[in-house]
Amino acid sequence: MSNTILVEIAGFKDSFCGPFPCDGDRTCDLEKCAPSEKLVNAVDALRERFAHIYGDKVEVRLTLLDDGIPDHIAEIVEKDQPPIPMVIVNGKITPIGRISLPQISEEVNKVM
């Protein structure tokens, strides 16, 4: 689908989903992955919530950097030096640096 918005999360398999520990407030608005604080679990939770909210209008893709860095990610790192996990919406890096439903949704809504 050509109108699909791509949310790409880039990071390492065993890394955390963000710089803040899970707490009772769940400011990221994701509960399914708690309290693991693991990137892979958080991306799965985000993908599930986005499917519920946006249907097939948004694709969430996880790009693991453990076995190498794809060229498009290397270009972003060289230019912007973003925090990990990187949140990329339709090829544009965002300054979020964590898996957060409200913050990533805000970026998606800007593109819609």
pLDDT single digits (tens) 18-29: 988 887 777 899
**For the chain, what are the domain ranges?**
5-111
6 Cβ contact partners less than 8 Å away, ≥ 6 residues apart? 58, 59, 61, 88, 89, 90, 91
CA dihedral 71, 101, 40, 69 (to 10 degrees): 10
1-58 pLDDT, tens digit each: 458 999 999 999 999 999 888 877 778 999 889 889 999 999 999 999 999 999 999 9
CATH class in words for 5-111: alpha beta
Look at the pTM and tell me if it is higher than 0.75. yes
* Pairing, β 86-89 against β 5-11: antiparallel
Sign (positive/negative) of CA torsion 91, 81, 54, 40? positive
CB 64 within 8 A of CB 49: no
